[in-house]
Amino acid sequence: MNAFHSFFPMAIALLQEESTHVNPLVLIASLYVFALAAFLGYQLISRVPPLLHTPLMSATNAISGISLIGSLVIAGAHHENHALLASILGCVAVTSATINVTGGFLITDRMLKMFRKKEVIKPGEQK
């Protein structure tokens, strides 16, 4: 049995140790805010002109950098009840945020290279 198959039963057992009850009104309100944010985000991003995608990517990379700092804090924090689960989820968050930030900067750099002027070498000149 590999680690992937043994993680989920372990995570479920950790979550069932201390069951927390969520108020249904809070859950419905949270789902409403999530759905509204997803719809609004899709509408805003779909209306951005192609020329503004590069600055928008740079701004989202800055936000991803902030989420990377938050995931580092969570991964290193000491949690009394669910220490193992918090450490595992914190490490997953750090890995995901790092991949997101790195990929975003690579894509932004590639997009900026598309806007640079290409040098034309004349037949008699050497570079």
pLDDT digits (tens, 9 = 90+) for 1-39: 454 455 555 555 555 555 567 788 888 888 999 999 999
pTM higher than the cut 0.85:
no
Helix 83-114 to helix 3-17 angle (10° resolution) is 120
For 79, phi and psi rounded to 5 degrees?
A: -110, 130
pLDDT digits (tens, 9 = 90+) for 34-80: 999 999 988 887 887 777 766 776 777 777 778 888 888 877 777 77
Using a 10 angstrom Cβ sphere, with 0-12 exposed, 13-18 middle and 19 or more buried, the burial of residue 85 is: middle
Please count the other Cβ atoms lying within 10 Å of the Cβ belonging to residue 75.
Answer: 17
Domain boundaries, the chain: 21-113
